[in-house]
Amino acid sequence: MYFHCGNVTKIIGIISGKGGVGKTTVSANLALALKKFGKKVIVVDCNLSTPHLAYYLGVSDYKYTLNDALMGNVEMISAVSSSDGIRYVPASLQMSDLSGISLANFEKNLKTLVNPDKVDYIILDSAPGLGKEALTVLTACNEVIFVTTPFAPMVNDVMRCQEILRKIKGTKTIGIVLTMTTNGVHEMSPQSISKLTGAPVIGEVPFDRNVTYGLVSKSPIMNYDPDSLASIGFMQLAANLTGKEYIVPAKMKMYKLMAKVRNTLLPAKVAMPKSIQAVKEDIFIENK
Ligand SMILES: Nc1ncnc2c1ncn2[C@@H]1O[C@H](COP(=O)(O)OP(=O)(O)OP(=O)(O)O)[C@@H](O)[C@H]1O
Ligand SMILES: [Mg+2]
């Protein structure tokens, strides 16, 4: 169990090295999965330069945005909108709303959302990479979920993120969520990813076309198809975070079994590194 929430408001930063790996998908659907476990959640779009959260949640009828809060027009608590029981703070789609905002005001503003009686989790959907927006999220959060696809270069990105976290005040744990996995032999296993990074893999969301079908239907996968493999992955992640029991549906077990059979009967013609040391050499990590 990671990031278990007692009577505090936990702030989780959703971070990645590469763009397009599924952070916003994780942010929106983790919020919905946590809600299914009875948790009170606010999800905040911290990707000010390319905001997508509202679209992914399928909402547009909000009054204020994070930009308004950072401009000092309203307190962040007033920029919280609600839809379908999910509370969210969108970022503005207007380019003009990028001027006059100060990220330096973010943490102070975020404190207006912290209220253990009313909010169990605040999820911060970051911009990709480890630039200004991500640094703001890394500084403001208590815990980090590092979202990545299961390919070797991610190890370097996680290590950079860990290095930044060491320099930031306060101890913050980091857990990895693998997205768009296919259980193919060309992918790194969660075990070797954990060994290489020293960070636990706390969730795995299979590649699932329904995620994109939901997206274009303006409905997050947890609502669009709660029985899909991706939704099961999000429920497993939320169960892991909250320490609640979740019985993994047979569908997921069957999917994993089929992947094993496929890997045995139709082995992919790829030369994968044979050991952790070989992976390190492959991605230029020095042997210490
Ligand atoms: N498990 C999945 N299976 C299939 N497609 C997925 C999955 N997760 C995300 N996607 C798709 O991948 C694309 C990128 O996802 P998303 O926008 O969540 O990434 P992101 O990391 O937030 O991107 P950015 O770095 O630009 O903010 C979207 O089209 C989304 O539908
Ligand atoms: Mg995003």
Tell me the domain boundaries of the chain. 10-282
The CB of 27 under 6 Å from ligand 1? The reply is no
Percent of the chain with pLDDT over 90: 84
Please give the full DSSP string across 44-107, using - where no structure is assigned: EE---SS--HHHHHT----S--HHHHHHTSS-GGGG-EEETTEEEE-----GGGGTT--GGGHH
Distance 212 CA to ligand 1 centre (A): 8
Judge contact between 219 and 58, C-beta under 8 A: yes
- Which CATH topology does 10-282 take? Rossmann fold (3.40.50)
**Residue among 86, 76, 166, 154 nearest 120 (CA):** 86
Distance 26 CA to ligand 1 centre (A): 8
For range 5-25, the mean pLDDT: 93
Residue-wise pLDDT tens digits, 71-107: 999 999 999 999 888 999 999 999 999 998 999 989 9
CA–CA dist 24, 179 (Å, integer): 12
Q: How confident is the model at residue 6 (pLDDT cuts 50, 70, 90)?
A: low
pLDDT at residue 56 above 60?
yes
Please give the full DSSP string across 118-163, using - where no structure is assigned: T-SEEEEEPPSSSSHHHHHHHHH-SEEEEEE-S-TTHHHHHHHHHH
What's the half-sphere exposure (Cβ side, CA atoms, 13 Å) at 79? Answer: 27
Q: How confident is the model at residue 4 (pLDDT cuts 50, 70, 90)?
A: low
Q: How confident is the model at residue 5 (pLDDT cuts 50, 70, 90)?
A: low
Instruction: Give the mutation target among 211, 224, 228 for probing the ligand 1 site: most ligand atoms within 8 A of CB.
Output: 211
CA–CA dist 190, 270 (Å, integer): 19
Distance 284 CA to ligand 2 centre (A): 28
> What is the pLDDT at residue 3?
56
Question: What rounded mean pLDDT belongs to the chain?
Answer: 93
The CB of 124 under 6 Å from ligand 1? The reply is no
Angle CA(235)–CA(237)–CA(239) in degrees, nearest 5?
70
Q: What is the DSSP letter of 112?
A: G
| pTM for this entry | 0.95
Distance 20 CA to ligand 2 centre (A): 7
**Residue among 149, 156, 215, 226 nearest 182 (CA):** 149
Angle formed by the axes of helices 23-36 and 229-242, nearest 10°: 70
Distance 189 CA to ligand 2 centre (A): 24
Q: What is the sign, positive or negative, of the torsion defined by CA atoms of 154, 54, 112, 73?
A: positive
Ion ligand 2 contact residues with beta carbon within 5 A: 23-24, 52
CA–CA dist 193, 23 (Å, integer): 18
CA–CA dist 86, 158 (Å, integer): 30
Length of the chain: 288
pLDDT at residue 1 above 80?
no
Instruction: Give the mutation target among 23, 25, 125, 204 for probing the ligand 1 site: most ligand atoms within 8 A of CB.
Output: 25
For range 227-255, the mean pLDDT: 97
Judge contact between 44 and 11, C-beta under 8 A: no
CA–CA dist 284, 279 (Å, integer): 8
Distance 277 CA to ligand 1 centre (A): 31
The CB of 205 under 6 Å from ligand 1? The reply is yes
Residue type, 8: V
Q: How confident is the model at residue 171 (pLDDT cuts 50, 70, 90)?
A: confident
Residue-wise pLDDT tens digits, 122-169: 999 999 999 999 999 999 999 999 999 999 999 999 999 999 999 998
Which residue CA neighbors atom 10 of ligand 1 most closely?
22
Which residue CA neighbors atom 25 of ligand 1 most closely?
19
In the beta sheet, which residues pair with residue 147? 177
> What is the pLDDT at residue 64?
97
